[in-house]
Structure 1
Amino acid sequence: MNPYLAELVGTAILIIFGGGVCANVNLKKSFAYQSGWIVISFGWGLGVAMAAYAVGKYSGAHLNPALTVGLAFNGDFPWSKVAGYILAQMVGAMIGAAVVFFHFLPHWKETDDPGAKLGVFSTGPAIPNYFANLISEMIGTFVLVLGVLTIGANKFTDGLNPFIVGMLIVAIGVSLGGTTGYAINPARDLGPRIAHFLLPIAGKGPSNWGYAWVPVAGPLLGGSLGGVFYRAVFKNDWTPAFWCVLLTCLLVLLIVWMIENKKKRA
């Protein structure tokens, strides 16, 4: 299988499981309605594992632009393939979201809350604060990329790595995910959000585009920092990219902090 097609298929599988568990929990008259955060965290973790098992040998199963960029900064992935991988991941995420829409077709009318419907497709903050939300997404994705790289440095029984990475997703969800819904993946959030905007979902509300940049920028920054951090600290390879990424993260956080404080004073 072509690696770009593999990323598309793998990301679609990820969203079918991940968006599917959100739909199960959020949409009325589902037998899993209101079954809670633990169910959602395990659904996403197992979804990552299943997608990785499906396409890992063809593309490495990045399934996430932040991981692709983090691996490129770590020197494990060629920059020439980054754009193609990200495009494939975005398209796959939109396809996966469309599958979830059709699977739960009669449940959209039964659910009154537009926010619950949007929550099937994309994330949102528990407490809206761009500065804090951005930090949460950066930390979660930093942990993800660092975790993937450290897991890869260990020897496991053949075929166990995807499952361990899936458990990493569960760990991030149950420990860090309650602040923003832990997108930790720009394709996971933006692709389904576009699908939410385009699909004829009964009673849907706005797609919350004002927040949409946070689960894109936060994971890309955090993933990049995870990649250069691992390369510098674990491999003792202090490249100029480390300082560039670190300064970029600090600069973006400073700008967002100033904007957030200006909003509070207004």
Structure 2
Amino acid sequence: MMGILVTGKASGAQTNPAVSFTMAVAGKLPWIQLPTYFVAQFLGAALGAAFILLNFRENIGDVGPEMVASFPDLSDSIVHQIFDQFLATFLLLSCIQSVDDQGHTPAGLLVGLSVAAIGLAVGRNAGASMNPALDFSPRVVATLWDSLEKWEQDWDPFTKGGYFWIVPITVPYAGGVTSYLVYKYFIKRFENQDPEDELANLELPLTTRYTHDGRPSCPGEAGTWHQNPDLDDLASQAHYNMAFVTDIEKSKHFDGKLCHKIATIY
């Protein structure tokens, strides 16, 4: 939640590679920007882990520096661990997409509460990482920390838990993309569309019927067809989509149909 509040306007507050990858698949993030986000996310997670170890350096002896990574607790089966990480990320991305697509507010609080709820629900099972960077980078930092303390290479952060680290660095991507597909084809397609929003999908010809006083005519009114002067640059096209019309004044008429009185294209 704090990350969203602080960096939301600057970068979209994407601190999770699984979220960024899903947004790229959904067409909401250019693929060319994905590597930049990945580098920043993995480096950010490493810095966060380093700050935690420095802050608690006097008390990590009993648990080890790998405390900054996630490990399974209740779950012993690798199949169950994979399903757990898949489900947690699926739920997370479902909430994030809903907040983004439906404009729920306050976004930072809602996403933060969603992460907290998922963590409380499944955290003890396998750590509820839901974030490849949040798990992998701290393991690297913990390995370096342990190795420097012991003056020998120590791979405990990667070997404890039966190589569980492979799960949170791979599975969340699948959970995120699956969430996007489910939301797109089983949620969004059944949305109740506002009648006025449907006008954005209408295609109108390049000519418009005008009444004698010069305004565009409404359905059922007599008028003369004229070339729309604002559409000269689109003359080679057969139709234009109302989504590109930026200023539309609408009025209701006795027949209940919407009439476009003014349509300006900039």
TM-score by length of 2: 0.63
* Aligned-partner Cα distance in 1 for 2:136–2:32: 23
| Number of the residue aligned with 1:208 | 158
Task: Give the percent of matched residue pairs that are identical in Structure 1 and Structure 2.
Answer: 27
* Aligned-partner Cα distance in 1 for 2:104–2:184: 22
Q: Does 1:163 align with 2:109?
A: yes
- Work out which structure has the larger RCO, using CA pairs closer than 8 Å and 6 or more positions apart in sequence: 1
- Cα RMSD (Å): 2.1
Query: How far has the Cα of 1:171 moved from its partner?
Result: 1.1
| Number of the residue aligned with 1:231 | 184
| Number of the residue aligned with 1:176 | 122
Q: 1:199 aligns with which of 126, 145, 151?
A: 145
> How many residues get paired?
182
Contact 1:186 1:219 in 2 (8 A): yes
Q: Does 1:220 align with 2:166?
A: no
5 Å-filtered alignment, 1:1-266, equals 49-109=1-61, 112-114=62-64, 117-118=65-66, 120-126=67-73, 127-157=75-105, 160-200=106-146, 206-209=156-159, 210-236=163-189
Code of the residue aligned with 2:156 in structure 1: it is P
Query: How far has the Cα of 1:205 moved from its partner?
Result: 7.3
* Aligned-partner Cα distance in 1 for 2:188–2:60: 50
Q: Using a 3 Å threshold, how does the CA distance of structure 1 residues 132 and 226 change in structure 2: closer, same or farther?
A: same
Q: Which has the higher strand share?
A: 2
> Gaps (5+ residues) in structure 2?
191-266
Query: How far has the Cα of 1:156 moved from its partner?
Result: 4.3
* Aligned-partner Cα distance in 1 for 2:175–2:96: 13
Query: How far has the Cα of 1:62 moved from its partner?
Result: 1.1
> Gaps (5+ residues) in structure 1?
1-48, 238-266
Code of the residue aligned with 2:16 in structure 1: it is N
| Number of the residue aligned with 2:245 | none
Code of the residue aligned with 2:17 in structure 1: it is P
Code of the residue aligned with 1:56 in structure 2: it is G
1:153 partner SS: helix
Query: How far has the Cα of 1:217 moved from its partner?
Result: 1.2
Contact 2:98 2:104 in 1 (8 A): no
* Aligned-partner Cα distance in 2 for 1:175–1:108: 26
Q: Which has the higher helix share?
A: 1
Code of the residue aligned with 1:92 in structure 2: it is G
1:207 partner SS: helix
* Aligned-partner Cα distance in 2 for 1:73–1:135: 22
Query: How far has the Cα of 1:132 moved from its partner?
Result: 0.8
Code of the residue aligned with 2:71 in structure 1: it is G
Q: Using a 3 Å threshold, how does the CA distance of structure 1 residues 234 and 77 change in structure 2: closer, same or farther?
A: farther
* Aligned-partner Cα distance in 2 for 1:175–1:73: 28
Query: How far has the Cα of 1:180 moved from its partner?
Result: 0.5
Contact 1:72 1:227 in 2 (8 A): no
Q: Give the number of the structure whose alpha-carbon radius of gyration is greater.
A: 2
Contact 1:70 1:228 in 2 (8 A): no
Deviations 1:66-109 (A, max 9, x none): 01111112221112211221111001110111111111121123
Query: How far has the Cα of 1:153 moved from its partner?
Result: 2.9
